[in-house]
Structures are given as C-alpha cells and as structure tokens.
Amino acid sequence: MQANGEFLEFPVHENSLISGNGAEVLAPAFAGLFDLLNRRKASSTMKITPPGYIASLEAYKPGKPISDVIAEYGLTDVIKLASNENPLGPSPKAIEAAKASLSDLHHYPNGGKTLREAIARKYGLSINETIAGSGSEGVMNTVMRTFLEAGDEVLTSEATFSGFYVLANAMGLKTITVPTRDHGYDLTSMADRITENTRLIYLANPNNPTGTVFGRSAFEAFYKQVPKDVILLCDEAYYDYAVRDVPDYFTMVDDIRPNVLTLRTFSKSHGLAGIRIGFGTGPKELILPMLKVKLPFEPSTTAQAAGIAALDDEDFLSRTIETNQIGKEYFRRAFSSLGISFVDTAANFFLLPFPSADDATAFVSEMERRGIIVRPCDGSGLPTGVRISIGTKEENQRAIEAIKAILRTTANHSSLSTSTT
C-alpha cells in the first residue's frame, strides 16, 4: 500500500484473511496500518528539546575578543584587560615543552598521568590524590558529574565565579547563594545556610570577580560547621597572586581532608589560558571515582607537557608576580587620586562598583571606544560592577589615560567618583 508517496509494509497474519460469500475482512492488517500512520504523523510534529533547566540556562560569557572591538569601532590598536590573562604571555618553558610534544600527537594522551605524578612530587602527595583536567573548570565539571545529580543542593556566595553558576545550572542543581559582606564571602552567614540537603559548598579564594580573600582562621571556623558528608570545593585559581600579599592567606592544595577538593589552574599566573590545563587535589576516596567519570584522554598531550614545564618555571612566576604587584600599586594610586571607587584586591584585577547597571554598561562602552576592553560582571550577578585586569606598565597607563578622558568628556561623571572601598 502507498501513503504520502511511500510504500508502507504492515503486518499480515495467516488468519487475517477471513472468507465468506464475497466478503473479506482484513481487520488486523488494517489496524496495523492505522497504527503505523498515526506514529508517523506524531513523529513528524515532535521536537527534540533540552530539559527546562538547560533551555533557561545563560551560557558563560567570556571576555570580548580584540577582533570584535576592532571591527565594531574601526580601531587598529586594542588591548584586552578583561579576562585576567597573564600580560607577560605564556611561560617560556611551557612554550618549549609544548613544541617538543607536537611530534607525539599521533599517540593518545595518557589522561594526565604524567602531570599528576609531577603535582604529587611537588606537593608531597600520592598520585591518587591528584587529578588533571582542561583547566580548573574541567575538574570542577568532573566533580559535579561524579557526586551530584539534578535537584541536588549546592551552596556558595553571590558575586562569585560565573563558571560555577553555569555548570551548576547546566546540571539542574539547586544553587543557594548568600549575599557578600564587604564584597567578599560571608562565611558566618554561609554556615547558617547549610542544611541536610546541602551536597557541595563552593569557595573561591581569592574570589572572582571581587578579588577579596578570607584567611586561615576564618576558614577553620567555617570548616568546623561543615558536615563531613558535604563536599567543600576550594577554588584557588588566583593563589599565586595572593600568597605573597596577604599575611593570613593559605592553601588547601596539600592539606588533604576527607571532604575537601582543591582546584588550581595554569591559565593565570602561568599564562596558559589558551591551552586549557588545570588540576585538582583531594583524598583518594574522592579522586578515584572522579577518574572514572572524567574524559578518558583529558588533558591533551600538548596541554599536559606545557603544564609540567610551567610547574618548574619559577623565574617566570616571579616576574609575573612582580609585574602584578607593580601594576596593583599603580592602579590603587591612580584610582584614589581620581576619586574612583574600587574594591581592593589580592588577585590580578580590580572590581569597580558603579551606582547603576547603566553606568557600568556605559563605562564598558566608553573604554572600548578608546581601545580598552574591560569586563562587565553581570554574569556573576553584579550588573553594577566592572572588572579591569592588571596588565603591563604600558597597558595600565593607557587604561588610566582612557579613564581620565572619559571623566573629561562626561558632563556628569559622578558615577565614576564614588567613595573608595
């Protein structure tokens, strides 16, 4: 039989033909035909749709690319102070190691095993207390997929790393956020929000995008209130910038506790943002299940080689920290002299709070017109905030000159001249 231009087959049974005085009944066969036609009709109108929590998800918004600003404003010289990248470029040792690894690209990677061994040696750990991934976000994603499922409750602060919000929402998790205190984590209030439904707590220290930190004593007081069956995820992406700058600052990377996982990245102080490499540490009871879940060949051969070399590039790390310290002091003095509000930082960026979201948006646009890309913070729940990264001496000076030009050309620039935080 033909329907809609197609020949259709339908079931016919031996007893489906019933004879009788010129009457033939094919009821079972026609029933099969009608069922097939109905299914074809239904399938033609069906749509493949993601779950509701995916449909409503707002994707992670990276810093605006230089090429976009060049095209949008017709500029030829644009600098990017939006994504907290290393202004000195990548670690030289990492570059050489990455180049040397290219001849081995026909082989599959070993899943980060060599990098895990190097991390274990550096921090005095067992290899089973380490895991490697595509940036710290890659490891964060593995943590969530290993231990959480849709509907589980996670706890963190408002105004923290937008990547955590995106990953949590992408899994359909229930994210509980606590308001900040002085632009930083309010650990006392967070402890009060822990319930029997809390499965994971996320702490970024230093925090992104505010640059604030909490010290060892505050952490230990908080940790005493965290149930041992709740995972404490400590993100130390900006550790290297804070460790020499904050007296009470600390790390959990080599402090192995039953429910603590610590994240590190090579994107910032090591200058490897474009190659995607990071790692995590924690007890083997948590790491081993994660190794079952992570992508089998993550990270790539080249990323792993670069990460291993960067671990030992102490000269580059020292120059990076020195450059950041000089730039930090320059911005502090410049912002203060111009009467511009800023949140003091332990990282490689400053948060500039504005009175309104419109003021923040206008500032971002005016900076872009002058060839300076800065970062709006609406993705972190701070629509009135703008983040500016610390660059080279020349980049920092150019940024301040652009701000001065905005102040001169704006009749009412009170939005830039609020009190220093």
The type of residue at 268 is K
Q: Quick count: other Cβ atoms within 10 Å of Cβ 224?
A: 8
Return the structure tokens found at 96.
Answer: 């050489």
The bridge status of strand 23-25 relative to strand 18-20 is: antiparallel
Q: What is the pLDDT of residue 22?
A: 45
Q: What is the pLDDT of residue 265?
A: 98
Strand partners, 379: none
Return the structure tokens found at 418.
Answer: 């609020």
Q: What is the pLDDT of residue 183?
A: 97
- pLDDT tens digits, the chain, 421 residues: what are they? 455 555 555 454 444 444 444 445 556 666 666 677 777 666 666 788 888 888 888 888 888 999 999 999 999 999 999 999 999 999 999 999 999 999 999 999 999 999 999 999 999 999 999 999 999 999 999 999 999 999 999 999 999 999 999 999 999 999 999 999 999 999 999 999 999 999 999 999 999 999 999 999 999 999 999 999 999 999 999 999 999 888 899 999 999 999 999 999 999 999 999 999 999 999 999 999 999 999 999 999 999 999 999 999 999 999 999 999 999 999 999 999 999 999 999 999 999 999 999 999 999 999 999 999 999 999 999 999 999 999 999 999 999 999 999 999 875 545 565 444 5
Backbone angles phi, psi at 67, to 5 degrees: -60, -35
Contact 112, 304 (CB under 8 A): yes
Strand intervals (E) in 99-254: 130-133, 153-157, 174-178, 198-204, 231-235
Q: What is the pLDDT of residue 420?
A: 44
User: Which DSSP string do the residues of 134-179 spell out, in sequence order?
Assistant: SHHHHHHHHHHHHH--TT-EEEEESS--HHHHHHHHHTT-EEEEE-
Vertex 348 angle, CA 400 and 83, to 5° = 80
Q: What is the pLDDT of residue 54?
A: 87
Q: What is the pLDDT of residue 322?
A: 98
pLDDT tens digits, 345-382? 999 999 999 999 999 999 999 999 999 999 999 999 99
The bridge status of strand 198-204 relative to strand 375-377 is: unpaired
Q: What is the pLDDT of residue 416?
A: 62
Backbone angles phi, psi at 158, to 5 degrees: -70, 160
Give CA torsion, residues 376, 378, 380, 385, to 10 deg: 60
The CATH class, in words, for 62-86+315-416 is alpha beta
Q: Quick count: other Cβ atoms within 10 Å of Cβ 170?
A: 17
The CATH class, in words, for 92-313 is alpha beta
Nearest to 131 by CA among 236, 228, 253, 310: 253
Contact 309, 97 (CB under 8 A): yes
Structure letter (DSSP) for residue 379: G
Is the link from the previous residue into 247 a cis peptide, with omega within 30 of 0? no
Contact 328, 412 (CB under 8 A): no
359/386 Cα distance (integer angstroms): 10
Break the chain into its structural domains and give their ranges. 2-45, 62-86+315-416, 92-313
Q: What is the pLDDT of residue 409?
A: 87
Q: What is the pLDDT of residue 18?
A: 46
Contact 305, 109 (CB under 8 A): no
